[in-house]
Structure 1
């Protein structure tokens, strides 16, 4: 083993005193020992820093820094990346738990392939009060993609790589300009950058990360992780990476998400057709667009669709509709939820 095998783990933390020690013990107990832990305190006002500092005093692999001011997690990740010495980079959330072989497994997968890849694995949510149905559904969805290795086919639905459960060569991370802009949700933005730069995903079938859920988890309470932030990001990357200006754009669905995207597209002066199957909304004019029924699509010869209908059964029917017309997912139509 050479120093080129060093893994740098970036862990931002803020007011994590309740869970921080358990998180750090799971890192210290890794079967793979050649790692450094870069911890960034993002202006905690509890005793998180003291907990981290006490443990760091007994393990020189742990390096502790402070954000200058309450700047947020992206600034912490940016600072952490600058402090990394390893050729391989991963992120760990301060309230989660690593499987003892996580670093070893992700690194071995990555080294077999080389640059141009990111390794990840299945995850498991846990909570003292029980995991909610939404989080359980997300866990199952993520893990199913690991089995089929088709993560990018679903990238406009949700973040297809768990935020604290990836490893990548530092050159690839820097080539993706990771954390260079204050764009939230930062984990989803990073995965879109992987997608943009053709970073291929290596999925492990092992469950290597335990993801803690609790009422005041940042993703639950911070407005940067509200649904509209996700929609903004999806639309941004769709226009940049997949939008075909030679085709008429279609928005399918007139619920909250459909209205949000319609308003954004109107502001961007991007023309589109808006369809839905709700008889109470058909022919209504919203944002200067008249909603059409689904049959209107038969008049269009060359179009590209964004689907904002969330119901699982409806999505299956929509998928069959497009397939019957010979249209291709992630080229002619995209599910945004």
Structure 2
């Protein structure tokens, strides 16, 4: 294993229009000690030829075929072929800034094992960025600037899949890409959190994140909302749930119903509350929806909040504060 070598793992499938720009951004890195482990996930366009052409010109680029099918198998294949001290991922349709690898390796060398190096991101698209992606980018970058990403981990994926780096030893301790659970980037983020890794703050954009209609996260069923909710609930019950306290679910929209149904299926008792007068008193899945003021009577509790409206969330935060309850201990925002 070469000292301080960075292994850049790149699964790719039918991204020919973007691959050259992606690889050029890696070739332009100020940090020279890297290897690209590119894994072809059964492309039917010119993607494989493009990577092979680059591999002929630079021996640091290595190309393999996916031993299975899908991005998780491709990542597993890539990791098995890698030999770097540091591990990072890159998506084949994105662009690194020239100093991304240098900044991340410097951060990890300075802070040592037990840390995750991250960077700020900028979305770009030929048609402009939607309001939703713009809000997500700003929210994510605010967290990254402080290194406080894990404080909002149950809301959304707080570490962008193509913009992190860790020590290989930490990656192995987190079980790498072994779990076959989608969305795979969100699952890995939770395992970083579970392992107690610390996020190193970063105030610089290190990745340009491309958005387009047929991007995998837009088209694959594995990135549908229900998969995100399943992962949130799985890790909440594993890492933060206290069965000695009353579990409360706040909200009866799509997310609230999905969480409630899953808890019922797992035979986990909970109280279901909301602030919608039209729903209070109704039964869903055999559970009666109670007014949110029930929290005053419950005592020791933990709340999963599934209310998405930002103004309503602020009011809910104020209500919890009034009750003396703490975020990420007594209540958790799932959206």
- What TM-score results when the alignment is normalised by the length of structure 1? 0.98
Q: Per-residue deviation at 1:159? A: 0.6
The 1-side partners of 2:262 and 2:324 are apart by 29
The 2-side partners of 1:143 and 1:81 are apart by 28
The 2-side partners of 1:12 and 1:149 are apart by 27
Q: Per-residue deviation at 1:274? A: 0.4
Kindly report which structure 2 residues correspond to 1:245-284, keeping only aligned pairs within 5 A, or say none: 245-284=243-282
What per-residue deviation string (whole Å, max 9, x for no partner) do you get for residues 267-319 of structure 1? Answer: 00000000001111111100110000111112111111000001111111101
Match of 1:131 among 125, 129, 132: 129
Match of 1:147 among 145, 148, 152: 145
The 2-side partners of 1:52 and 1:146 are apart by 31
The 1-side partners of 2:274 and 2:100 are apart by 45
The 2-side partners of 1:62 and 1:150 are apart by 34
The 1-side partners of 2:12 and 2:297 are apart by 54
Match of 1:32 in 2: 31
The 1-side partners of 2:218 and 2:182 are apart by 14
Match of 2:54 in 1: 55
1:119 and 2:117 aligned: yes
1:173 and 2:171 aligned: yes
Match of 2:210 in 1: 212
The 2-side partners of 1:227 and 1:212 are apart by 21
The 2-side partners of 1:15 and 1:232 are apart by 29
State the aligned residue count: 335
Q: Per-residue deviation at 1:68? A: 3.6
The 2-side partners of 1:148 and 1:313 are apart by 24
The 2-side partners of 1:51 and 1:42 are apart by 14
Match of 1:223 in 2: 221
Q: Per-residue deviation at 1:226? A: 0.4
Match of 2:307 in 1: 309
Match of 2:238 in 1: 240
| Mapped contact 1:12–1:41 kept (Cα < 8 A) | yes
The 2-side partners of 1:10 and 1:44 are apart by 17
The 2-side partners of 1:157 and 1:250 are apart by 17
The 2-side partners of 1:149 and 1:68 are apart by 36
What per-residue deviation string (whole Å, max 9, x for no partner) do you get for residues 143-162 of structure 1? Answer: 01022321111000001111
User: CA RMSD of the aligned region, Å?
Assistant: 0.9
1:161 and 2:159 aligned: yes
* Structure 2 residues not aligned, in runs of 5+: none
Q: Per-residue deviation at 1:5? A: 1.1
| Mapped contact 2:67–2:73 kept (Cα < 8 A) | no
Moved over 3 A (4+): none
The 2-side partners of 1:42 and 1:208 are apart by 26
Match of 2:45 in 1: 46
| Mapped contact 1:9–1:92 kept (Cα < 8 A) | yes
Match of 1:7 in 2: 6
Q: Judge which range, 294-303 or 55-64, deviates more.
A: 294-303
Q: Which secondary structure state, in structure 1, belongs to the residue aligned with residue 17 of structure 2?
A: coil
